[in-house]
A = this chain, B = another copy of it.
Amino acid sequence: MAIARAVRSPYGNRSIRTYSRDGALVQEKRAEIVRSACHVFITKGYDGTSMRDLAKFLGKSTGAFYHYIGAKKDILYLILDFTVTNQEEFVNRMRDSIRDMTAAEAIKEAVRIYLESFEEHADMHVFVNHVMVKLGRNDRQMMLGAAQRVSDFFEELLQKGMQDGEFRESDTRMLAQNIVVLGNSWVNRRWYWKKYFTLDQYTKGQTEILLNAITAVAHA
């Protein structure tokens, strides 16, 4: 007999109902559901999408769908969780790997990895941008906190470069947020960027513009 269980989402304090006992399978199926759901949500809108629409898009029965997810709202929570976890992991991973680099090298490497993660989860980032305005206070705070930690990470890098004399005096808060915007812009305006630039060209070009703006100089 199927027993309803709750598998905790990786972040936050919500439990989401499943009828499966296989934790790894639940994670895998949910990741697949989340990926497709974001695609459907950004075209039909979150409110305009039914569980039936999602099941149909995935080529599954609604029953098979409810095996892993309790309700549409659960998918939204999974997406928020995933985004937050993703940003945490990015910062932790980067802090380790850039330890011995100059500030300019560290910025280059961090921007590259950051933009790659936007490319990998493009639909998710677009959807999260859209849904931000609908979130309740707690969810919104959680999302803003995660975004702030990424921004803080880039700001530290910029400040280190300024202290080392590698970068000129600049508004590091604004520059750090501009780096965050580079990722969002890549996915939100992909209809434009992808006409003219590959991700690699975008990364190299934007990094060059950024370093031109901040590298210590004597004007000609």
On A, residues with C-beta under 8 Å from B are 42-48, 126, 129-130, 132-134, 144, 147, 151, 168, 170-171, 173-175, 177-178, 181, 184-185, 188-189, 191-193, 196-197, 202, 205-206, 208-210, 212-220
Contact = CB atoms under 8 A, between A and B. Distances in A.
Given A212-B168, A212-B214, A219-B215, A177 B189 contact: yes
Closest 8 CB pairs of A and B: A47-B48, A213-B213, A45-B45, A212-B213, A45-B47, A217-B217, A218-B220, A181-B185
8 contacts: A43-B133, A43-B134, A47-B47, A132-B191, A168-B212, A212-B213, A212-B214, A218-B220
Given A170-B212, A212-B212, 13 more contacts: A43-B133, A45-B47, A45-B134, A151-B192, A170-B209, A174-B205, A175-B209, A184-B189, A209-B213, A213-B213, A217-B217, A217-B220, A218-B218
